[in-house]
Amino acid sequence: MKIGVVGAGYVGLVAGTCLSEMGNAVIVADISERAIELLKRGEAHYYEPGIEELLERNLREGRLSFTNSTAAMVRESKVIFLAVGTPQGDDGCADLSYIDKAARDVAEALEEPKTVIIKSTVPVGTNRRVEKIFAEYAKHPVEVISNPEFLKEGAAVEDFMRPDRIVVGVRSEKGADLMRTIYSPFMRTGDRLMVMDPESAEMTKYAANAMLATRISLMNEIAKICQAVGADVNHVRRGVGSDQRIGSKFLFPGLGYGGSCFPKDIRALSHLAELHGVPPLICRAVDGVNDAQRYFFLPLIEKEFEEDLKGRTFGVWGLSFKPRTDDVREAPAIDLIRELCTRGAKVKGFDPESRETAGAAFCRLGLTEVELVERQYEAAKGVDALLICTEWSEFRSTDFDLLRETMRGRTIYDGRNLYEPKDVAEEGFAYHCIGRPFVKPAKK
């Protein structure tokens, strides 16, 4: 099948490469000349495990191509996916200007009837909104289908190739049959296509992200209570997670969620609820808990250094909002570092993949006090304390002997509970984590 994709970002590029991997002829359009130039050379403009292998293979086989021209993409496609961004607006709602423009550009380029599939995360009612755009600007009939993505950054290729469900919001059986045809190669072990009305499909995406965000914020609140009463959140987590009604996923306390989805989607859902007269009490609480959680260590740091961080240097391991991605949007590490710098501190940061994206973020924030280094232990050299903000696997097995030789101070603030407190204490470090008792260093 000839498939077009508008948008070569985290959603569009994964969709395009995975669909081409199944034998479809896919053309991806994006307004970024730099991104398209890189993609034509087989180079992804962001880090996602597995994406470049698919990219190179399908470019070589001639099934995948890229363009800056939406009109050219429309001419070459039977079906078109809209996979553009829907960032948070100033009022908390989703900004649909990119969706509107993409729909209008496609509509004005149509030379025959097409099917348009909305892959972007959008509020309820967007399907009908896009239908109206095509009714106004297109010279040919267009069926608009909602097909929200459920991809995890860091595992997006695997999620697309082996989906646990495929949600389709459609008003015609013909449209449903088309979606079954597109996704049949991804459902060889069982039919996971869920057909529903577009409004329910749009709501399903927001509801899923809200449920996951709620688990994270609730567990972070429980972790604070554990710390206050002397309980160990790791024991509590295992005890709770063994209940089959609850399960063990998304129960790890930390510095809160980030990225391009959970923060904006929980706020967009809150805005949608208020728009329809429903008080979003839980959604607001989830967002509030998460905003506070990223600064969990700040009062502890200020207490240790007697409210004076001027002249202090902190090492930070992990800058991306989660491991296996270079995405630093809404990353807890970025906000925490900003607060440290505001208080006069300097920071040395290390991340296996996000040095470039983090550097751009700090540049936008005007944080000249941040030095980004290329090696993990370089970020610990001469620092007064070390903060761990992202649970990259290489941080799990730490060389504490090297750390003692490298650091000036002897305090670790672990925002991802990577180590056993007693083990860290025996290595000669004070250890703060989340939802577990603080331990003082044993003499070493």
Superfamily of domain 2-195 in CATH is NAD(P)-binding Rossmann-like Domain (3.40.50.720)
Dihedrals φ, ψ of 86, to 5°? -130, 70
Q: What is the per-residue pLDDT across 126-159, written as a single tens digit (0 to 9) for each?
A: 999 999 999 999 999 999 999 999 999 999 999 9
What pLDDT was estimated at residue 444? 60
Sheet containing 411-414, strands listed edge to edge, beginning at the edge strand earlier in sequence: 370-372, 346-350, 313-317, 385-388, 411-414, 430-432
Q: Are strands 385-388 and 313-317 parallel, antiparallel or unpaired?
A: parallel
The DSSP annotation for 254-322 comes to SS---SSSHHHHHHHHHHHHHHTT---HHHHHHHHHHHHHTTTTHHHHHHHTTT--TT-EEEEE--SSS
Residue 137 has what DSSP assignment? H
- List the beta bridge partners of residue 132: none
Residue whose token pair is 């609850």? 246
List the domain boundaries for the chain. 2-195, 205-293, 298-432
Rounded to two decimals, what is the model's pTM?
0.94
Architecture of domain 205-293: Orthogonal Bundle (1.10)
CA separation for the pair 68, 292 (Å, rounded): 41
Q: Which residues are annotated as catalytic?
A: 261
CA separation for the pair 59, 17 (Å, rounded): 9
CA separation for the pair 31, 388 (Å, rounded): 36
Contact 330, 294 (CB under 8 A): no
Decide if 205-293 and 298-432 have a common fold: no
What pLDDT was estimated at residue 355? 95
Residues of the chain where predicted confidence (pLDDT) is lower than 70: 444
What pLDDT was estimated at residue 396? 96
- Domain 298-432 matching CATH 3.40.50.720: the answer reads yes
What pLDDT was estimated at residue 215? 98
Q: Who contacts 266 (Cβ-Cβ below 8 Å, separation ≥6)?
A: 209, 210, 213, 283, 286, 287
What pLDDT was estimated at residue 90? 82
What pLDDT was estimated at residue 407? 98
